[in-house]
């Protein structure tokens, strides 16, 4: 069994910002992540397609805003700044997950660990994982447990009688389909995409945003080998509208990819031109919890204000939905939430020397 003063579930931006900041104060912290790597909704994907080489793209957030000096100084050397925005707008260099990888460097991290249950016993929090027969096995024991996941995934773990269940009842997340296409340059030109940089907000009823992943800083274009002819290719990512996604949650990934592609052609006046506008490969992913929705701003204040108090038995929450403030959301909100939780926890552990394992 793994032991630490603090166990953090989730190695996305909020969990790693918290874990990194706690570890910097010499407090033992262990971060558990169900995926194979860090990033969560900032994750990047690499796919090896023999004939087309290795494709690399950001599956989650394509870009984000930064307003606080602390966040700006953290990301400045890992991101490229975009022009013409009132708030500072950034696109990650090479891949989005480089941000969470940087935070993870000084953190004890166990990936591929899906926590299936949590229980409080003798003043300690236990996390459980399922073995190959589906039986729960204790994985870690800690004084503090941090749930750094979207609110729905936190609620699935929180004991039914815990006050956070009621506090999180009104916080929810929007789903979002994302499709990434490998498109020959000739098709890309034919479609006539007028993308000055790597991003274009489309805001039609199907597609929220388009990003040209291969045009992002530090990325490379691919080559298609077709009948021994090499052709330059670009990687185009379409983020679906959450409402459109909501009505198609259970559709097959290929259908989603086709529908979104058809919507893109329609948007550019190329309906019925499908023979000339084919992509070579697509990868589609369903984010069930993409961005917080509903009245998060007022509800989250209620939870944040009490996330680390004694009555809640050293169970803490952090995540983008808790960091939302006027002008701050998404990635920056996740970072801020992780940092403010870490500050509160460091204060508590320093004031209470008895709180050791
Ligand atoms: C398609 C898309 C587009 C977006 N666009 C933008 C944008 O333009 N601007 C912006 O600022 N933000 C954007 N976002 C949102 C941004 O990515 C998130 O706000 C931010 O990354 C959230 O970080 P987090 O740490 O709160 O949560 P997450 O990144 O979701 O991290 C939670 C982690 O917990 C892990 N986990 C969950 N349950 C368990 C378990 N039981 N056991 C172990 N691990 C578990 C998950 O695997 C995940 O890694 C976008 C997100 C998506 C998906």
Range of the domain at 177: 173-289
Pocket test for ligand 1, best of 7, 11, 40 (most atoms within 8 A of CB): 40
Q: Which residues pair with 120 in a beta bridge?
A: 125
Is residue 154 located within the same domain as residue 301?
Answer: yes
Sequence-distant (6+) residues with CB within 8 A of 47 are 54, 55, 56, 283
Please check whether residues 161 and 238 belong to one and the same domain: no
Write down the pLDDT at residue 6.
Answer: 94
126 lies in the same domain as 272: no
From the CA of 10, give the closest atom in ligand 1: 34
Averaged over 322-341, what is the pLDDT? 90
- Using pLDDT thresholds of 50, 70 and 90, give the confidence band for residue 306: very low
**Which CA distances in Å does 261 have to 181, 309, 315?**
9, 49, 44
In this structure, the answer to whether residues 14 and 124 fall within a common structural domain is: yes
Query: Of ligand 1's atoms, which has the minimum distance to the CA of residue 113?
Result: 43
Structure tokens at 222: 């691919």
CA-to-CA distance for 167 and 305, rounded, in angstroms?
Answer: 11
Q: Are residues 115 and 249 in the same domain?
A: no
Reported as a pLDDT band with limits 50, 70 and 90, residue 324 is: confident
The more confident residue out of 277 and 190 is 190
Contact assessment for residue 97 and residue 37, using Cβ atoms and an 8 Å cutoff: yes
The whole-angstrom separation of Cα 43 and Cα 29 is 22
Flag whether 52 is in a domain: no
pTM of the model: 0.93
CATH code at position 180? 3.90.660.10
Q: Answer yes or no: do 6 and 141 share one domain.
A: yes
Structure confidence at residue 357 (pLDDT) = 59
Residues 209 and 338 in one domain: no
- The residue assigned the tokens 């290929």 is 254
Residue among 297, 302, 342 nearest 320 (CA): 297
CA-CA-CA-CA dihedral for 136, 140, 142, 145, to nearest 10: -70
CA distance 336 to 328: 9
Ligand 1 residue neighbourhood (C-beta within 6 Å): 9-15, 32-35, 40-42, 60-64, 114-115, 148-150, 153, 176, 178, 239, 287, 290-291, 319-320, 329-331, 334
Q: Which ligand 1 atom is at minimum distance from the Cα of 334?
A: 26
Percent of the chain topping pLDDT 70: 86
pLDDT tens, position by position, 222-237: 666 655 667 788 899 9
Last residue of a domain, one of 289, 315, 342: 289
| Model pLDDT for residues 112-148, shown as the tens digit of each residue | 999 999 999 998 999 999 999 999 999 999 999 999 9
Residue 357 is assigned to a structural domain of this protein: no
User: Does some domain include residue 73?
Assistant: yes
* Choice from 37, 60, 208 to test ligand 1 binding pocket (greatest atom count within 8 A of CB): 60
Number of domains in the chain: 2
Q: Taking residues 91-97, report their average pLDDT.
A: 88
Q: Is 53 a member of any domain?
A: no
CATH number of 339's domain: 3.50.50.60
Looking at the structure, do residues 15 and 159 belong to the same domain, yes or no? yes
- pLDDT tens digits for range 255-271: 999 999 999 988 888 87
**Residues with Cβ < 8 Å from 120, sequence gap 6 or more?**
126, 159, 313, 315
Ligand 1 atom having least distance to the Cα of 291 = 15
Q: Is 355 inside a domain boundary?
A: no
Position 20 in a domain: yes
Q: Is the confidence at residue 300, as pLDDT, over 80?
A: no
pLDDT of residue 269: 82
Instruction: Please give the mean pLDDT across all residues of the chain.
Output: 86
pLDDT of residue 189: 81
Residues 27 and 75 in one domain: yes
Judge if 280 and 307 occupy the same domain: no
Whole-number Å distance, alpha carbon 331 to ligand 1 midpoint, is: 8
pLDDT of residue 305: 43
- Cα–Cα distance measured from residue 31 to residue 147, given in angstroms and rounded to the nearest whole number: 10
More confident residue, 351 or 24: 24
């Amino acid at each position: 069994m793994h032991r630490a003063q603090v166990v953090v579930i989730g190695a996305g931006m909020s969990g790693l910002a918290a874990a990194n900041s706690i570890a910097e104060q010499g407090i033992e912290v262990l971060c558990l992540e169900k995926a194979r790597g860090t990033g969560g909704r900032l994750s990047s994907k690499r796919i090896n397609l023999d004939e087309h080489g290795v494709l690399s793209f950001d599956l989650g957030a394509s870009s984000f805003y930064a307003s606080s000096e602390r966040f700006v100084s953290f990301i400045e050397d890992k991101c490229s700044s975009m022009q013409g925005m009132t708030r500072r707008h950034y696109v990650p260099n090479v891949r989005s997950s480089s941000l969470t990888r940087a935070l993870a460097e000084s953190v004890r991290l166990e990936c591929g660990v899906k926590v299936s249950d949590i229980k409080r016993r003798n003043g300690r929090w236990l996390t459980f994982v399922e073995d190959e027969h589906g039986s729960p096995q204790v994985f870690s024991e800690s004084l503090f447990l941090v749930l750094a996941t979207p609110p729905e995934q936190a609620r699935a773990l929180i004991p039914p009688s815990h006050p956070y269940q009621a506090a999180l009842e009104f916080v929810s997340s929007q789903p979002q389909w994302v499709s990434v296409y490998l498109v020959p340059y000739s098709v890309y030109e034919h479609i006539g995409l007028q993308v000055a940089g790597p991003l274009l907000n489309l805001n039609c009823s199907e597609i929220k945003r388009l990003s040209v992943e291969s045009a992002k800083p530090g990325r490379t274009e691919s080559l298609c080998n077709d009948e021994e002819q090499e052709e330059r290719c670009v990687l185009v990512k379409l983020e679906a509208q959450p409402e459109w996604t909501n009505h198609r949650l259970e559709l097959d990934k290929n259908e989603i990819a086709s529908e979104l592609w058809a919507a893109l052609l329609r948007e550019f006046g190329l309906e019925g031109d499908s023979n000339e506008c084919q992509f070579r490969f697509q990868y589609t992913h369903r984010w069930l919890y993409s961005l917080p929705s509903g009245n998060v701003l007022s509800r989250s204040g209620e939870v944040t204000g009490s996330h680390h108090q004694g009555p809640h038995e050293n169970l803490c929450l952090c995540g983008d939905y808790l960091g939302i403030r006027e002008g701050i959301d998404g990635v920056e909100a996740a970072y801020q939430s992780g940092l403010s939780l870490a500050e509160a926890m460091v204060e508590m552990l320093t004031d209470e020397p008895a709180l050791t394992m």
